[in-house]
Amino acid sequence: MKIIYLLTFIVSYSLFSQVQEIARLSAFVANSDFENSIMNFVSSLEQKKKKPYKQDSIVSSLNFQFPSRKDKAITGSEFVRRVMHMNAKERDSVIYKEIAEGNIPEALKQSIYLTDSLQDSEGKLHNVTLCVLPDFLAIGSDSDFIRIPMLPQTAQKLANLFGAILPTRKISNIIHCHSQQKMAPHPMTPDSTMTSMPIFARHDSIIEKTRNATGMHQRTLIAGHKKDIVITNRIVGEPERLFIYGWHYQDGKPIQPLSAAHGINYVDYSHGVRLIRDEVWVDHKRYSLKALLQDSILYSLFSDEAGPMKTTHYLPSF
């Protein structure tokens, strides 16, 4: 009979979690040791409830917060027409305004949580959860948008606005590793049109046609279709350079090694901006990702460079 009462208690507690239920069942049990067993069971359940490393608590603390897209916001096609004949700086002023106001496809605003076991500079493994966007920043609606290349200054300004950070080379690799949709790179003809809006739009249409063919939802984590604008220690010594990396093949090898071939005012169709939340969980504790990148031991969780990050943003900061 005691077993029956115990099972009854477990079910009742799981469904209702009421203290009265404990008292009611305890009245049927004369053996004090058995009562203690029940109370120990309750205590263990309460301890499990208090564990901080739960997905629902991570979501509430790390989630991106973007403004809602306005009903009359321009679509991707309208954006392309509007900026078609602008130079890079003029175009970027429009890019910043649209994204800052929340003109991003709702599906591409959704946070993706990547959990991994990563090694610090002393060789110790840590459980880590990063919060990233599923795709590169885009302008428009879910049904009509364009992934938009931009200057690193604009990318940095948007990252700061949304409590985010640009990826390191290692974070770019981590995202590709975890990606459910690893797209094959599609290079365009390397000529003077690479920096033009028509090529931006044509390349994005190729990406979207390929993505649609897979049948995967827009919220799916996707990688391999563009290079990342990244942060690196080299920014300190080369503040006037743009640093790009990635465009991974499906086997994980990048087409583009870390490069500073272009000046900071250069942008072409192959560049993308993916935001990483400046909050990360490491071993059940929440930290600033920027702070960890500058930590003498934990920096190597997110950077494969020699030593902590000297800066975590393009200079000058916004």
pLDDT in tens, 64-119: 999 999 999 999 999 999 999 999 999 999 999 999 999 999 999 999 999 999 99
The answer to whether residues 150 and 7 belong to one domain is no
- When pLDDT is averaged across residues 17-45 and rounded to a whole number, the result is 41
Answer whether residue 316 is part of any domain: no
Domain extent at residue 188:
58-301
Report the sign of the C-alpha dihedral through residues 132, 134, 137, 141, in that order. Answer: negative
The answer to whether residues 128 and 238 belong to one domain is yes
Strands 227-229 and 271-272: parallel
Answer whether residue 314 is part of any domain: no
The answer to whether residues 75 and 157 belong to one domain is yes
The answer to whether residues 210 and 239 belong to one domain is yes
Answer yes or no: are the C-beta atoms of 221 and 177 closer than 8 Å. Answer: no
Answer whether residue 128 is part of any domain: yes
How distant, in Å, are the alpha carbons of 60, 146, 210 from that of 118?
23, 34, 32
Of 172, 166, 115, which is closest to residue 137 (Cα–Cα)? 166
What pLDDT, on the 0 to 100 scale, is given for residue 8?
A: 45
Angle at 161 between CA 155 and CA 167, to 5 degrees: 45
Residue 2 has pLDDT above 70, yes or no: no
Residue 15 has pLDDT above 80, yes or no: no
Question: Can you give 195-227 as a three-state secondary structure string?
Answer: HCHHHHHHHHHHHHHHHHHHCCCCCCCEECCCE
**10-24, 53-67, 172-186 — which one is most confidently predicted on average?**
172-186
The answer to whether residues 25 and 108 belong to one domain is no
The answer to whether residues 229 and 144 belong to one domain is yes
What pLDDT, on the 0 to 100 scale, is given for residue 216?
A: 87
Answer whether residue 32 is part of any domain: yes
Chain segment 194-253, per-residue pLDDT in tens:
999 999 999 999 999 999 999 888 899 999 999 999 999 999 999 999 999 999 999 999
Could you tell me what percent of the chain has a pLDDT over 90?
77
The answer to whether residues 32 and 145 belong to one domain is no
The answer to whether residues 38 and 155 belong to one domain is no
Task: Please give the residue that has the higher pLDDT: either 127 or 45.
Answer: 127
The answer to whether residues 6 and 120 belong to one domain is no
Number of Cβ within 10 Å of residue 53's Cβ equals 13
The answer to whether residues 33 and 110 belong to one domain is no
Answer whether residue 94 is part of any domain: yes
The answer to which of 2-6, 83-87, 160-164, 300-304 has the lowest mean pLDDT is: 2-6
Answer whether residue 309 is part of any domain: no
Sequence length of the chain is 318
Answer yes or no: are the C-beta atoms of 91 and 82 closer than 8 Å. Answer: no
The answer to whether residues 148 and 70 belong to one domain is yes
Answer whether residue 151 is part of any domain: yes
Contacts of 74 (CB under 8 A, 6+ apart): 82, 98, 103, 139, 140
Q: What is the pTM of this model?
A: 0.80
> By CB neighbour count within 10 A (0-12 exposed, 13-18 middle, 19+ buried), where does 21 fall?
middle
Mean pLDDT of the chain: 85
Count of the separate structural domains present in the chain: 2
Cis omega (within 30 of 0) for bond into 316: yes
What confidence tier does 61 reach under pLDDT thresholds 50, 70, 90? low
Answer whether residue 308 is part of any domain: no
The answer to whether residues 94 and 241 belong to one domain is yes
Tokens of 305: 């460079």
Between CA 51 and CA 47 the distance in angstroms is 7
